[in-house]
Amino acid sequence: MRLRGYHWRILRVNLSTGRWRVEEPGEEDLELFIGGKALAYLMAYREIPPGTDPLSPSNRLYFVTGPFSALVPGASKVTVLAKSPLTRLLNDSHAGDYFGPSLRKAGYDALVVEGASRDPVYIYIDSRTVEVRDASRIWGSTTREATRAIRRETSERASVAAIGPAGERLVRIANIIFDEERAAGRGGLGAVMGSKKLKAIAVLGDGRPPEPADPEGLRAEGEKWYNYFATSPRYGDLRTYGTTNALVYSASIGMSPSYNFETPGIPVDLAAKISGDAIKEVEVDPPWYIHGASCPIKCARYAEAEYKGRRFRVKPEYENLAMLGAATGVFDREAVLYFNRLVDDLGLDSISTGNTIAWLLELAERGLIGEEEVGFKVKGFGDAEAVERLIRLIAERRGIGAVLAEGVKRASEILGRGAELAVHVKGLEAPAWDPRGRRGFAVSYATADVGASHLRGWPPTTEPPSAGPAKEVVPGLARNRDDDALRDSLSLCRFVSYPSREIPGLYKLVTGLERSLDDLYRAPQRAEALARIHAALDWLVPPIHDDVPPKWMKGQPTGPLKGVAAFLSEEDKREAIREYYRVRGWHPTLGVPTPETMERLGIPWARGDAERALRAVEERLRAAGLEV
């Protein structure tokens, strides 16, 4: 039976030729990989060979929706994927609200951008046409300026994904900004757009989404769940604050990134200066394109403030506030909100930017870098003037900013110091959750295919790491990783958290196909296995690179969890990581999916690649003089 809930149309735009075409996905591909994240990994696995230069025309950008997009309340996410210029790994990120549903209403399930233009361009898509248009006049503009200029040329209701000066200058922590405020592109996906001379993509969703298998049944379920999420006391805090109150929470449980992850358990009254009620005091109504009609929770907050005589509006989130504020030691609300606005306009990833700047501030605190190298005096943590200046220098790739534009791992290598203070996994800067506050969470960071990501599953416990061996919570962590990735594949926002048991029923109403939850979980398991094999064929050596930064192996210095580290010991860490390998059916010491696991997952065509990946890891270990 041909699945419903899809257009069965993938749009490919080749910037080298300026031409585009539409192709139909394979039926087995949609059955096995569903859409969104899982389908994006399948496409990239097939089309981006290991060893591809991320900033070359051979890299591709995928914008992929799932079958729930524009059909199920809260299904607003679009997956963006390419090979990362920061980590050289396949890297996905996700943007909410308007772009994904617009792409579906324009008549496409996915967009693939190939090749590279010689001159700046943007892509315009609606239900009738696809155009590659000149963008010379907006090259060099901020994401906000570009979005508004493109809307004037196309439609005020177009959804626009744009890069700023950082992406144009191939900054490895450059982001893609959707509709002025939403961000995707961790791992430098904005630089991939910049390398293709692609300033923006504008989509006008002027058609209809695909027809579901049971329109009436889906409408009734949609209304029921919309009303539940819009009124349930369980989501009251999220509806009131969005994610802005999370810094108070993370500080109270010893999980904040404060002072470059030196002090996870800061006082709650300090965290409150840039959290929750403090943001609420300057909150204003959002513009029309925030939230979208399908969102029952509407968690996005919008703030208006003034900093140094500049009046501005911005959409703050926990990660912005924590990484640009707490991580840098700046607890001035107006300053942190302005930093948020600045990184959005310049097209920088707020997580990686805050992390990398916090690292430099710690170098200054410790006397490991001085005014002569930086180009100006940096006082250390809390130096708001330095943070603002460094943000601009990174986007401009100028002075010390050219070093920081490479990301924290490369920056420490370039300067030849501070590696033990750099908080990253596999080259991806850590987000705003210190794993020393929850047992087994560091396993998620260590084993994540993209590097340090808080979106690769959480362990099913609130216990601290001191409560027992980390390996005990690994099966639950793996299950949660599957659940989160399934929602990414369906285009569901994680904050509109349908009970997992309800997802198969919604899937049947949309597609007409009856499947169990365990069967649906196999789609993200396949995607993770392919990502792992691709990485191993490229450069990854899991026994070496599945690790966490030195800071997290030290006990917290103060706060409610003083003395608690991410693991009980080095052996506890290795046992927990090996347990993850076991749960996944990967080689117990090499950390690569086995050929038998590819058979079990229903993708036997990847068996040979798994064998080659295992051999590649063995050879690299031997070359490094390590035991296999």
Domain ranges for the chain: 10-203, 244-422, 434-494+516-623
Q: What is the residue type of 173?
A: I
Instruction: Please give the residue that has the higher pLDDT: either 295 or 593.
Output: 593
Query: Is 80 exceeded by the pLDDT of residue 610?
Result: yes
The whole-angstrom separation of Cα 534 and Cα 87 is 13
Tens digits of residue pLDDT in 193-204: 999 999 999 999
For residue 285, what pLDDT band results from cuts at 50, 70 and 90? confident
Distance between CA atoms of 316 and 352, rounded to whole angstroms?
Answer: 16
- What is the pLDDT at residue 292? 56
Closest-CA residue to 352 (of 84, 158, 160): 84
Contact assessment for residue 335 and residue 320, using Cβ atoms and an 8 Å cutoff? no
pLDDT exceeds 80 at position 628: no
What is the predicted pLDDT for the residue at 560?
A: 85
Confidence of residue 328 (pLDDT cuts 50, 70, 90): very high
Mean pLDDT computed over 502-513: 98
Take residue 185 and report the two structure tokens written for it.
């592109």
C-alpha closest to that of 582 among 474, 501, 496: 474
Number of other residues whose CB lies within 10 A of the CB of residue 351: 28
Query: What is the pLDDT at residue 290?
Result: 58
CB neighbour list of residue 404: distance below 8 Å, 6 or more residues apart: 356, 357, 360, 390, 393, 394, 411
Confidence (pLDDT) at 293: 61
Across the chain, mean pLDDT equals: 96
The string over 563-583, giving b where at least 16 C-beta atoms fall within 10 Å of a residue's C-beta and e elsewhere, is ebbbbbeeebbbbbbbbbbeb
Helices 350-365 and 408-415: angle between axes, nearest 10 degrees: 30
Distance CA 332, CA 23 (A): 51
**What pairs with residue 428 in β-bridges?**
425
Q: How crowded is residue 49: how many other Cβ atoms within 10 Å of its Cβ?
A: 12
- Secondary structure (3-state) at 95: strand
pLDDT tens figures, 343-357: 999 999 999 999 999
Predicted local distance difference test score (pLDDT) of residue 185: 76
Which residues are within 8 A (CB) of 225 and not within 5 positions of it... i.e. 6 or more apart?
73, 74, 296, 498, 502
| DSSP per residue, 137-191 | GGTT--HHHHHHHHHHHS-TT-EEEE--HHHHTT-TTB-EEETTTEEE-TTTHHH
Bridging pattern class, strands 159-162 and 176-178: antiparallel
Tens digits of per-residue pLDDT, 542-560?
Answer: 999 999 999 999 999 998 8
Q: What is the pLDDT of residue 559?
A: 87
Torsion sign (Cα): 238, 323, 306, 174: negative
Measure the CA–CA gap between 343 and 405, rounded to whole angstroms. Answer: 13
DSSP label at 585? Answer: T
User: What tokens does 493 get?
Assistant: 């926002």
Alpha-carbon 373 to chain mean position: 32
Q: What is the 3-state secondary structure (H, E, C) of 305-318?
A: EEECCEEEEECCCH
Phi/psi of residue 216, nearest 5 degrees: -70, -45
Tell me if the pTM is above 0.95: yes
C-alpha 369/C-alpha 25 separation (Å) is 53
Percent of the chain residues past pLDDT 90, beyond the cut: 95
Predicted confidence at residue 429, as pLDDT, reads 98
In sequence order, the 6+-apart residues with CB closer than 8 A to the CB of 59 are: 48, 52, 53, 82, 83, 192, 195
C-alpha 84/C-alpha 104 separation (Å) is 26
Cα Rg for the chain, rounded, in angstroms?
Answer: 23
Q: How far apart are CA 549 and CA 543, in angstroms?
A: 14
For residues 189 and 176, the answer to whether their CB atoms sit within 8 Å is yes
User: Would the pLDDT of 619 be above 70?
Assistant: yes
Q: Specify the CATH number for 244-422; select among 2.60.40.1180, 1.20.59.20, 2.40.10.10, 1.10.569.10.
A: 1.10.569.10
Fold topology of 434-494+516-623: 1.10.599
Residue 294 has pLDDT above 80, yes or no: no
DSSP letter assigned to residue 380: -
CA distance 580 to 264: 26
Measured CA to CA, the distance from residue 484 to residue 534 in angstroms comes to 21
- Which residue carries 């046992």 as its tokens? 575
* CATH number of this structure's domain 10-203: 3.60.9.10
Using CA atoms, how far apart are residues 182 and 287, in angstroms rounded to an integer?
13
Distance of CA 609 to the CA centre of its chain: 27
At 420, list the tokens. 């033990």
Token duo for residue 227 = 């009303």
